[in-house]
Amino acid sequence: MKLQAALLVALLGLTTADPTWPAETDELEEIMFQTTSTRSRKFADSVSPCTNQASGPGRHNAAEWLRTAFHDMATANTARGTGGIDASLQYELNNGENTGPGFGTTLTFMSPYMTKKSSMADLIALGVYISVRACGGPAVPFRAGRRDATTAGAVGVPQPQNAISIFRTQFDRMGFSPQEMIQVTACGHTIGGVHSAEFPDIIPAGTATNGQIALDSSVAVFDNKIVTEYLDGTTQNPLVVGRAVGLNKHSDFKVYNSDRNVTMQAMASAAAFNEVCKTVLQKMIDVVPSSVTLTAPLEPYQVKPVGLQLTLSTQGTVIELTGFIRIRTTNVPLTSIAGLTINYKARNSGNDCGSSGCSFPLTVQGVGRGLDDSFAWFPIARNVPLASGISSFTVTVRRTDGTSTVYDNNGASYPIQDAVFLQRYQSCLLQSSGVTTLTAAVRNDRAELPVRAIVSYKTTQTGSVVPALNTLTLELTRGPCIGPYTLFSASTTIPGGRSVEATFDILGGDRVDAFKKANILGGTCQSRPVSNVCSTPVITSAVPSATSTTMTTISSPTPSVYRRQTMGSYTLVSCWSEPPAARALTGASFAYDGMTLDSCLSNCTGFNYWGTEYGRECYCGDALHSGSAAAPLADCGMPCSGDGTQYCGGGNRIELYRTTATKTSTSTTAAPGPTRVPSVGRFVRVGCQTDNTGARALSGATTAGDDMTLDKCAAFCSAFNYFGTEYGRECWCGNALDSLSSPAPVEECNMRCAGDPLQFCGDGNRLELYRASAASSATLASSTAATTGGAESSVRLSEATSSSSASSPTGPAPVPTVSPFTLVGCQTEATSVPRALSAKSTASNSMTLADCAAFCTGYRYFGTEYAAECYCGNSLHASSSVAPLDDCAMPCAGDPLTHCGGPNRLTLYEDPARASTPPREPRQPAFAGDFVWFGCRTEPAGARALSGKERAADDMTNESCAAFCEGFAMFGTEYGRECFCGDELHARAAEAPEEQCSMLCAGADDEFCGNRNRLSVYVRQEDEA
């Protein structure tokens, strides 16, 4: 018999492989896909529909979500593996690069969804899928696994006044090609607009409805009009046309036109636009620190248990099983589903479930939707006998045509353990005060094991609109026995004012009822069930059925857990707390599932202290952090993952041991811990420095040995200007630092030297770096700056001289001279066009002070900015002013030991031998070579006004264009850097107002070179008539 087409589709839809449940991504999966109707998580509420302006008139929340993700990502350095989508934006809202309320509003809305299973970074990335899809765009694949930063990241969000060379450098740092730079800008700007409040110079107050001008004519639709309107010349995008052009802030035009519109033309069709945006936006949200591994893209389950909970009944006579089974009906008509059947296994994995049997039916009682999917909800309300219990179940989907499909969780069945669980009726939360009582039901065969609750809660965080996640551990106290179960309880007050957003893990030995949400608790605890005679379940293996090949047998009673007072030459101190935002022991750390006290002791041999935490973590150190303190011994009640008879700490609690041995010492006192050595021979300490296995920080020579010391490495590298030790036993030499290496926190270089435990020798991918105190500059210069010559020499020699009398350098520092320039100080950028220094500019990922000095030869001033940018000029713009020197503290991209400005801040140098030229008002020169000014002309659609020949250059002037067009009757300059020649103007090249040709020449800050689609036209003097 042939299957009907609709039934075939249904069968295919219901047999797609699901993830194995439960999965770490389950919380994010629900937030992502359950957006409306039954069991909606409401994450899309403020952005769907796309016209939603919940944050105020003119503010399209979907656009703000999309831009939040870009701004969080934009400071990434993919070569170094830092930054990306990491939620560091929450600490960067006041750094001048992230103006406007949209970012804070977005993060505030998302904060209630942040949990230990749904990081803020993942929520920001998920917001791209939600906002784009809500506006009719493609479904951008979302992968999970991001971790939240705890401090601000680097600066470097692109600013509208930047030159295209700087944009290219910034996007290259993020990992985007020039083509992808154009694509992600267009895709990010297809919804929303520019606001007067953030850019009053582009949109003056009172000139736009609700203070906003849209980026295209379909402000609340994710479509290709951002491209088509730009290409056909009808765009009103304020970052392409209007006041931004005269201010040099028409950033969209600079980006879109950077390859002569080739990329924009390729995106012009609706299909191409959506496909490109799906790809490039996924790449954007997948930019993460190198330490992060993302999951596969999330897809909705076909069959998913949701909100399952076991609870002893109010009379204590049965176990109540409640929750839902969610069925995806996107490709399966709900009318084709007759119902579900749950088939469950008893506690011993058998089929004896009492008189009511082991199966029961479910009927649909609700439907819900996502942005791409539909779901049917089947609620569960079943009483399970106390005597037999439950261990797992399968789901059978019964169809109206008589067929059915069994879902067995990829062969594992859906697990549900009844050994320990939150007893919801006797648990309660008063949300106004945070007063909480948690009660657990523990099966009597496990009642001798410690029972605790790990509470994850939120508190207000200084310097961020996002709350901080904290944990506390509650030791639950034994209470009355209810048949085969005993109740354990504890009360506390959850601080922070957000107790309803807390989650709980209830642990009893190695069993856990995980990730229970506070919002399921009532405000009042119910009375406990009447105590019955205690009984202990006898758990035996079930007789295998005809369809089963193996069954799990519960072993004899678990051996008791006890404290080990001594371990080798170490003695138990007590339970010890972890300090806030730090570690009690920082010498070394390990984590694995087979953790025992013996294995941690072996890992930490030689340290003064070691301790185990959270059942599977091991920490070593010679001293305890000052913020750590003694905690009740009961707080360290988690069994070791590799030995259930030992305790291995708890949540944020260390089972701490201290050495009783006497360390070898040359004095009468105990040997000190390792120290930072300020100098070794002729070398002085620089600090901790990052390394990269693909591009070594030092590549001159290397050696390794189990007797490595700083002195041995210094001797080995005696012919070089730098040496560094790494990973305790490695030594690296070089005359220059690779440009990808950067300073790292000193605590990241905490590994002892293999040959001298009193010295530090770097760490994994971290160098304890030293440099020669009198090294010559030519060899100390970055290997990428080979043309710097004498300027670099003066920098390095002056540094070396000063270092002999000052404390050893620990990071980048201002350099007083870069011959023939001397340091003026830190200077703000101009508040309007032109820049503070506007003669010419360049950018490079290997920028050094010497490079910039060489580039600006012949000018009175040079300045470095944003670590990688260089500007030259003979005068400072009047709107630039002196700034604190600390504002210019970014390490140079090509030399991490020197400063290259900051965000909108120039490290300014001056050549006093050159006279300062007062800035002149820009003008259109009356003459250029043998040519005379003719007027401002338009470019005709689909053609060129002058078609003889053309060129483009970053040092373009009207004079240079005149020289290039020798032999032609006419020339014209356009867009600041383009030159066109011809003998006659195209017939459709119309006269335009002179003020429309108002873009500064790339090579001259006092004359105009046309504008976008506008030519400053000159004719030969004899041809003028």
Tokens 């993060």 found at: 107
Domain topology for 679-773: Hepatocyte Growth Factor (3.50.4)
CATH topology of domain 420-520: Immunoglobulin-like (2.60.40)
Q: Tokens 């941690």 — which residue?
A: 600
Is there a contact between 697 and 741 (Cβ–Cβ < 8 Å)?
yes
Sign of the CA dihedral running 615, 621, 623, 626: negative
* Cβ atoms 543, 345 nearer than 8 A: no
Identify which of 933, 928, 929, 937 has the alpha carbon closest to the alpha carbon of residue 1011.
937
Query: Domain 26-285 belongs to what architecture?
Result: Orthogonal Bundle (1.10)
Task: Answer yes or no: is pLDDT of 795 > 50.
Answer: no
Copy the structure tokens of residue 9: 């589709």
Q: What is the pLDDT of residues 477-533, one digit of tens each?
A: 999 999 999 999 999 999 999 999 999 999 999 899 999 999 999 999 998 877 657
d(CA 763, CA 765) in angstroms, rounded, equals 6
Average pLDDT taken over every residue of the chain: 86
55 vs 319, higher pLDDT = 319
Question: What's the predicted TM-score (pTM) here?
Answer: 0.61
What would the pLDDT profile of 80-139 be if each residue is shown by its tens digit? 899 999 999 999 999 888 989 999 999 999 999 999 999 999 999 999 999 999 999 999
Domain boundaries, the chain: 26-285, 303-415, 420-520, 566-659, 679-773, 795-910, 927-1023
Question: Which pLDDT score is estimated for 673?
Answer: 62
pLDDT, tens only, 179-191: 999 999 999 999 9
| Confidence tier at 555 by pLDDT (50, 70, 90) | very low
DSSP per position, 622-658: SS--TT--EE-GGG--PEETTEEEEE--BTTEEEEEE
pLDDT reported for residue 531: 62
CA distance linking residue 169 with residue 173, whole number of Å: 6
- Residue 694: the pLDDT is 63
Half-sphere exposure of 971 (CA within 13 A, CB side): 28
Q: Does domain 927-1023 have CATH number 3.10.450?
A: no
Question: Using one digit for the tens of pLDDT, what is the confidence trace for 583-626?
Answer: 889 888 877 767 889 888 877 877 888 999 878 888 888 888 87
Going by C-alpha positions, the residue among 873, 870, 865 that lies closest to residue 839 is 873
What are the residues whose beta carbons fall under 8 Å from the beta carbon of 830, sequence distance 6 or more? Answer: 836, 838, 877, 879, 880
Closest CA to 481 of 438, 536, 527: 536
Q: How confident is the model at residue 534 (pLDDT cuts 50, 70, 90)?
A: confident
The tens digit of pLDDT for each residue in 271-284 reads 999 999 999 999 99
Q: What average pLDDT does range 529-545 have in this prediction?
A: 64
Residue 648: pLDDT over 50: yes
pLDDT of res. 787: 30
Task: Confirm whether 303-415 and 420-520 share one CATH topology.
Answer: yes
Q: What whole-number distance in Å separates Cα of residue 309 and Cα of residue 303?
A: 17
Q: Are 894 and 848 in contact (CB under 8 A)?
A: yes
Q: Which residue has the tokens 């529909």?
A: 49
- Write the secondary structure of 489-507 as one string of H (helix), E (strand) and C (coil): EEEEECCCCCHHHCEEEEE
**CATH architecture of the domain with residue range 303-415:** Sandwich (2.60)
